[in-house]
Amino acid sequence: MTPLPADLAVPPYGAGTLADVLPGAATALGVPLVRGDLPADPLDLTGALAGARRVMVLLVDGLGADLLRTHADLAPTLAGLASPSGDLAAPCPSTTPVSLATLGTGLPPGSHGILGFVTLVPGQQGPTGEDRTLNHVQWADDPDPDVWQPQRTVFEHAQAAGVAATAVGPYAYAGSGLTRAVYRGATYTGAVSHGDLCALALRALAATPQALVYGYIPELDLTGHVRGVDSPSWRAELALVDAIVEQLLAGLPDDAALLVTADHGMLDVPAQTRFDLDAEPALTDGVRVLAGEPRARYVHALPGAEDDVLARWREVLGDRAWVASRDDAVASGVFGPVDDALAARIGDVVALARGSWALVTPEHEPGPSRLAAYHGSLTATELAIPLLVARGRALA
């Protein structure tokens, strides 16, 4: 087995990851949950939210805990909130579709099956006979979201227990495959602006005697990708996020609580740590499909070429990435327990970037290869996400 290097970490599923947030919030509202071998509320959110009849979970895409600490002066509202459990960890890969599915189901990636930003769809071919891949943020209804992600969501558990569940996010995401797969069971309410999100979320919180409300803000992550997390644009966006949280707190019902978390951190990648996969012909020999993203690559080999592909990727990348076989990656625990029926979605070879390296393909992925900042791997900065809590006046 190829062990993880010391600078990468296995997310502690069931002890302090994003998967534990919604189950804890739902448990605090009296929703019975079964999570396989995982405890229902390992973060003791039942204690932190004691007395709350309404709970909102706000996920700010890209709000890594390290970034928030570094720029606490720009986010005084967030910086002033309590942290009931310290930093949590994102799942593996530390990327948005995987994290949102992990949050929504309360389960590790190996159980829910959304295992990367782009993954192979095993056994399916495209219209010209090529192997088919799925970009989870460009997903409509094929494959069927109910089949591709078959686990019950925490929202479904809440609705079954009589607790109203609502998800509030961008209007454009309503009805997408990812929305259907990860928020199933919640009433999805599309917001057209940040102010609209605040108003819709607060209305949902107040509408019923008990409520579980989820809100999603994507713009901080987008700004980081395009401009970098060490940019005036990113810092200005963080200040706007802080203002949104301030508005939510101002309208929070007396018997409600707000939890703020994120899906991953991110880091700038300078020119000198961008490894051009297109410029290394040896890395395409025996390769059938290259999936994943620049800091979390899945390499699917031609039948019989798996060992050779693994050896070449290890030799060429060296200490730029942890390169492991699928079996070793699964055995390491980075995905949590992996259902046998889902394992083929992971590459025959897994390459998780170390340091600030990104494994780019400017010829085949020109857009993603030009981004300023990335995430996806298992460094401390990518994994560490905040969990912050505010309680209504009646709960203070």
Does the reported pTM lie above 0.95? yes
Strands (E) across 159-249 are located at 164-170, 187-191, 211-217
Q: How many C-beta atoms surround the C-beta of residue 396 within 10 A?
A: 7
Q: What is the pLDDT of residue 123?
A: 86
- Bridge-partner residues for 214, per DSSP? 57, 167
pLDDT given for residue 167 in this prediction: 98
Cβ atoms of 96 and 295 within 8 Å: the answer is no
DSSP-derived 3-state class of residue 120? strand
Residue 396 is predicted with a pLDDT of 72
Provide the pLDDT for residue 366.
Answer: 96
CA distance 234 to 327: 38
CA nearest neighbour of 27 among 11, 43, 13: 43
pLDDT of residue 239: 98
271-374: CATH class? alpha beta
Q: Give Cβ neighbours of residue 278 (< 8 Å, ≥ 6 apart).
A: 361, 362, 363, 364
Tell me the domain boundaries of the chain: 18-268+380-391, 271-374
The pair phi, psi for residue 89, each rounded to 5°, is -115, 140
Q: Are 71 and 233 in contact (CB under 8 A)?
A: no
Domain formed by 18-268+380-391, architecture: 3-Layer(aba) Sandwich (3.40)
CA distance 342 to 114: 9
pLDDT of the chain, 396 residues: tens digit per residue: 778 999 999 999 999 999 999 999 999 999 999 898 999 999 999 999 999 999 999 999 999 999 999 999 999 999 999 999 999 999 999 999 999 999 999 999 999 999 999 999 998 877 776 799 999 999 999 999 999 999 999 999 999 999 999 999 999 999 999 999 999 999 999 999 999 999 999 999 999 999 999 999 999 999 999 999 999 999 999 999 999 999 999 999 999 999 999 999 999 999 999 999 999 999 999 999 999 999 999 999 999 999 999 999 999 999 999 999 999 999 999 999 999 999 999 999 999 999 999 999 999 999 999 999 999 999 999 999 999 999 999 887
What is the spatial distance between Cα 335 and Cα 116, in angstroms, rounded to a whole number?
10
Q: Looking at residue 2, what is its pLDDT?
A: 79
Backbone φ, ψ for residue 54 (5° rounding): -140, 135
DSSP state of 172: G
CA distances from 219 to 24, 75, 207, 235, 329 (A): 26, 15, 27, 12, 32
Residue 297, CA distances (Å) to 72, 108, 121, 126 in order = 33, 19, 15, 21
